[in-house]
Structure 1
Amino acid sequence: MNVKDYDNFVRTTTQFAHKPKEEMRSIALYGLVGEIGSLVAAIKKKILAEGGEEARWDRPNDEIKEELGDALWYCYSVSQITNDSHFDILAADIAALRTEIGSADERAQKIATSLDPAKRAEFLEAAKHFPPVGGYTFDAYQHLAFQTARTDGRVLLEVCLAVLWQLGAELLRVTLPKIEITLNKNVADRPSNIVLGEITWHLSAMASLYHMSLDDVVEANCAKVRFRSERGAHTPLHDEGRDTKEQFQRLFEVAFVRVGPQKSRMYFDGRPLGDDLTDNFYDDDGYRFHDVIHLALIAHLGWSPVVRGLMRRKRDSGNDRVDEVEDGGRAKVVEELVIKAIHSEGDKQAKAAGRCGIGAATRLFPARSLINFRLLKTLRMYVDGLEVEKNAFWEWEDAVFEGCEMFYRLCNEKQGTVVVDLTARKLTFSPTVSPSIHGAAVGLGMGSANSQAPLGEEILSAAEYDSARQMALVLETVAAKRAILDSLGLDKESCGLYSELEVRLDRTKRVYMKATKAVQERAWKLKAVDYRVAFTAVAGETICTASAIADLRDVSK
């Protein structure tokens, strides 16, 4: 890759360019030193994993390649922030090496004794013409710079690891107060550009030791950065062109209904979607709501063999093996693995960020930036060979982030309605539910509201939804609350119960509701999960009749 092109790439993909210069510099410096630490950790981890087997130490892996690329990105970012005009880190480093090796002082003589004479002469000759007028690649720098390596193999690797720590400390000196810079002289005090050149040399040397092309390292880094900074058109939905019965509905909702303590049930199109949900864990960690991440995969990727099967929308009408491969058991296992990987990594990131309060819901990936590229590559690796491998990394990131946000809201609310919009590629959430089931009435009630009578807490509760609504809707909401309480056999005149019942009516008078405390306990006892209402208006009074509805599967138990 052309070095000038990469320099421009870093400049255009810096996400903190809007911040004050001093803050930008701090972010870039700590970012670079942090990546050096991550690189050292990745290499040490690999060495330990090899069990000290000398013959395998120089086999590269994706983690090392990724950390090398990240460190290079921050090198260029620091350079751009430090220098008012363009500065070529690599060309300056070659010039500094030429001066150091080609001089006649004592240091140069010591270096000469450790270099192969032929390589030294070849380097000095080539360095005279570097950089070439037409530009150059990272590989060109890598090949030339490595000729100045004074050691090789595992010894050079250990040298690079140690020296990179020292160089990182040098860079951070500029962030210290003047008095500390004066008093702390254990670290050299040199211009940042010299230090950046030496860092890039050691990064390049490590790439050579692992038999990696520096161009390939940079290209991989560009691909990683682009997935956040460049968003193209959405990948076409994978069931496009199939019969509508074999497609995900382009707009649908799923209700997560509480049917008992730490037990939930999903409803879709008036029927249960799968089995009842529990955490299957000792602690109440909300994992029973992880199915909402499946819904996020549908919204953003158009993919979920698990939910497709539950909705009976498998693509089995043709002889193209799509049902067997894309909608079959193996694909479902892969999807569950994807969900578990997302949950585990999100939980780890939340704990690392200190976002796991005792007794509080865990916000998986509390910041979008915590969804690291390594996780996304792992997820893509899991789905290799399936249709969803076509989706871009940024689409995966959207699915992970929004799915985890919906998971957090469900964990907080303990129930909710999730609307899946495949056209807009998004999810929306409401804490109230309306499963619209065809079940059995387990309670009947009546309530009323009069515009002439004081409504007290009721009107405040009803008006929370939208104060601009007409009084008629306010009265219907209040009357519905009273009727639902009555249908549950509770005191419909008790203001204390009003705060334990949230009711929302849509344009068709469909009831969306949320019950808590005593109201929820009573609903569980009656096994009521849904409500039907009807309204009449008589002489300025709104009268509502309500039926509490239980799922037939619960009534038959």
Structure 2
Amino acid sequence: MSGLASQHNQQMECGKMTAANDASMSVAQFEDHAARTDQLEFGEIGTSILGLVGEVGSLVSAVKKKRRDTDGFFGYRDAVVEELGDVLWYLSAVARRGGSSLVNLTRGLHHGPNFATFDNAVATQRTETLESALLGLAGGTGHLAKRKGAETKDTDVAALHNDLSYILGLLGEVARAAEVTLTEAAIRNVVKTEDRWPTQRVFPPLLDEGLHIDEQLPRQMRVLIYEREVNGTRFVFQKAGGFLLGDRLTDNHLPEDDFRFHDVFHLAYAAVLGWSPTTRALLKIKRKSQKALDENEDGARANLIEEGLTTWIFETAKQHRFFANTPKLGLDILKDVKRFVRGYEAEKLPMWLWESAILQGYAVFRQLQTARIGVVLTDLNRREIWFEDMTSEDRESCGMKD
């Protein structure tokens, strides 16, 4: 994690930013981080403008839900802070592609003597309601998109700068009316984007590091997975070390969709994340020496969370050819994954590692779909899972003929 993110990560608890009075971030710091995590095609300003418009729409949607559902919309403040941060990020992306910068935009907002931080540079004394401030912001971004769409020549840099400076001022009004700060939003965005697109990918410590080997997930595994017919019904079996693991499985679904092979996802979580209450239960390696871990992290509820998460991702994957042509997962999916495991140790694991676990697991799943029989190997030290064909000895141990 970058120094900027780690500096403020101490103020995060269960993914929520506290309102610490000493939290600060300069406009230049945020802009530097936004540039380093920018995955968009650099020369295409239209895409970043569409992203900006889309994030403003998400911000409006969050406020609409609050007005519609009143107290039924939980996490309203968090949602507004996160969406404001996303708008800031895209504003930075548009400015960068238009030959400007957030720092330059703040110079056009003559508020306060200190332009270094968002809340000084974008200070506002206006008293619009939140709804009117949002309508102004939506109108400002809509005007930007309309003008850009009508351009028949290169971008008018001066006009773009003025539009973006105006939008930044409107964003400050929205933050004030929502009783949050742009600094909070910037910090939240840095933590989130570092979790998704870190400057350097470093594996976090294993969750069972330091415990007795009897309570650790195996650092290497070799699991035989095969399908065979019993009394007219096809089942999937798993075997490791000569012993069957768990129950024989069917899809439990019509039409059939090969969910019977879904234990490979639990193996992927164990191999890449170092987390899988389900795998611990199958192997009978719960952390009994640690009462809190045994009851909460390795217990039935954690197992249900993992099973539910696996089923939900599977339904999403079915709509995308089981991620066959998906080199990376959308941020929304990964955010939902983190929400799913909130309150459990798996919440600490970064989004990029979740992405790796999911995509590696589905790569093996697709091979099992085709072969219907094979060996799944895992290496927790390398955070990898892969597929191999069975040997003759493997097939014999499964009661199958060559």
Same fold (TM over 0.5): yes
**How far apart are the structure 2 equivalents of 1:31 and 1:161?**
13
**How far apart are the structure 2 equivalents of 1:335 and 1:87?**
42
Q: Taking structure 1 as reference, are residues 294 and 45 closer, same or farther at Cα in structure 2, changes over 3 Å only?
A: same
Paired residues of 1:171 and 1:195 also in contact (CA < 8 A): no
Aligned-partner residue type, residue 306 of structure 1:
T
Aligned-partner residue type, residue 125 of structure 2:
Q
**Which deviations, in whole Å up to 9, do the C-alpha atoms of 1:61-99 show, x marking residues without a partner?**
43333232222112111211211x65634324315xxxx
User: What is the deviation of 1:170?
Assistant: 2.6
Query: Counterpart in 1 of 2:21?
Result: none
**How far apart are the structure 1 equivalents of 2:175 and 2:287?**
47
**How far apart are the structure 1 equivalents of 2:207 and 2:103?**
46
Query: Counterpart in 2 of 1:510?
Result: 393
Paired residues of 1:66 and 1:221 also in contact (CA < 8 A): yes
Query: Counterpart in 2 of 1:429?
Result: 387
2:264 to 283, 289, 292: 292
1:401 aligns with 2:401: no
**How far apart are the structure 1 equivalents of 2:181 and 2:215?**
46
1:93 to 82, 88, 108: 108
Greater relative contact order (CA < 8 Å, ≥ 6 in sequence): 2
| Sequence identity percentage | 29
1:207 to 175, 180, 183: 175
**How far apart are the structure 1 equivalents of 2:305 and 2:199?**
28
1:68 to 84, 107, 110: 84
1:323 aligns with 2:294: yes
Paired residues of 1:315 and 1:327 also in contact (CA < 8 A): yes
Paired residues of 2:236 and 2:250 also in contact (CA < 8 A): yes
**How far apart are the structure 1 equivalents of 2:292 and 2:48?**
50
Paired residues of 1:36 and 1:168 also in contact (CA < 8 A): no
**Which deviations, in whole Å up to 9, do the C-alpha atoms of 1:39-73 show, x marking residues without a partner?**
334433443334xx8xx999834333323222211
2:345 to 365, 380, 387: 387
Aligned-partner residue type, residue 315 of structure 1:
R
**Which deviations, in whole Å up to 9, do the C-alpha atoms of 1:193-244 show, x marking residues without a partner?**
1111122222222222221111010111111211213344322222333333
Q: Taking structure 1 as reference, are residues 137 and 293 closer, same or farther at Cα in structure 2, changes over 3 Å only?
A: same
Q: Taking structure 1 as reference, are residues 196 and 57 closer, same or farther at Cα in structure 2, changes over 3 Å only?
A: farther
Aligned-partner residue type, residue 140 of structure 1:
N
**How far apart are the structure 2 equivalents of 1:190 and 1:529?**
72
Query: Counterpart in 2 of 1:120?
Result: none
Query: Counterpart in 2 of 1:35?
Result: 55
Query: Counterpart in 2 of 1:554?
Result: none
Pairwise CA RMSD: 3.3
Paired residues of 2:92 and 2:101 also in contact (CA < 8 A): no
Query: Counterpart in 1 of 2:241?
Result: 269
Q: Taking structure 1 as reference, are residues 310 and 57 closer, same or farther at Cα in structure 2, changes over 3 Å only?
A: closer
The DSSP-based 3-state class of the residue aligned with 1:195 is helix
Paired residues of 2:65 and 2:73 also in contact (CA < 8 A): no
Query: Counterpart in 1 of 2:120?
Result: 140
Query: Counterpart in 2 of 1:4?
Result: 28
The DSSP-based 3-state class of the residue aligned with 2:76 is coil
User: What is the deviation of 1:192?
Assistant: 1.0
Aligned-partner residue type, residue 329 of structure 1:
A
1:15 to 39, 52, 60: 39
User: Which range is displaced more, 204-213 or 161-170?
Assistant: 161-170
Paired residues of 2:57 and 2:138 also in contact (CA < 8 A): no
Query: Counterpart in 2 of 1:106?
Result: none
Q: Taking structure 1 as reference, are residues 371 and 265 closer, same or farther at Cα in structure 2, changes over 3 Å only?
A: farther
**How far apart are the structure 2 equivalents of 1:267 and 1:57?**
46
Q: How does 1:370-519 map to 2 (within 5 A)?
A: 370-372=329-331, 374-430=332-388, 432-433=389-390, 505=391, 510-511=393-394
Structure 1 unpaired stretches of 5+: 96-122, 182-187, 356-361, 434-504, 514-527, 532-547, 550-557
**How far apart are the structure 1 equivalents of 2:75 and 2:351?**
27
**How far apart are the structure 2 equivalents of 1:189 and 1:250?**
55
Query: Counterpart in 2 of 1:229?
Result: 198
**How far apart are the structure 1 equivalents of 2:250 and 2:224?**
15
The DSSP-based 3-state class of the residue aligned with 2:313 is helix
Paired residues of 2:62 and 2:76 also in contact (CA < 8 A): no
**How far apart are the structure 1 equivalents of 2:236 and 2:74?**
51
Aligned-partner residue type, residue 60 of structure 1:
Y
Which has the higher Rg, Structure 1 or Structure 2? 1
**Which deviations, in whole Å up to 9, do the C-alpha atoms of 1:355-385 show, x marking residues without a partner?**
4xxxxxx32485354332x544443444344
Q: How does 1:513-528 map to 2 (within 5 A)?
A: none
Query: Counterpart in 2 of 1:457?
Result: none
**How far apart are the structure 2 equivalents of 1:58 and 1:311?**
38
Paired residues of 1:59 and 1:210 also in contact (CA < 8 A): no
| TM-score, normalised with respect to structure 2 | 0.80
Paired residues of 1:170 and 1:190 also in contact (CA < 8 A): no
Q: Taking structure 1 as reference, are residues 171 and 64 closer, same or farther at Cα in structure 2, changes over 3 Å only?
A: farther
**Which deviations, in whole Å up to 9, do the C-alpha atoms of 1:97-151 show, x marking residues without a partner?**
xxxxxxxxxxxxxxxxxxxxxxxxxx6xx4xx4xx3xx51111133x2x2246x3
Aligned-partner residue type, residue 36 of structure 2:
T
User: Which range is displaced more, 209-218 or 397-406?
Assistant: 397-406
The DSSP-based 3-state class of the residue aligned with 1:93 is coil
Q: Taking structure 1 as reference, are residues 57 and 269 closer, same or farther at Cα in structure 2, changes over 3 Å only?
A: closer
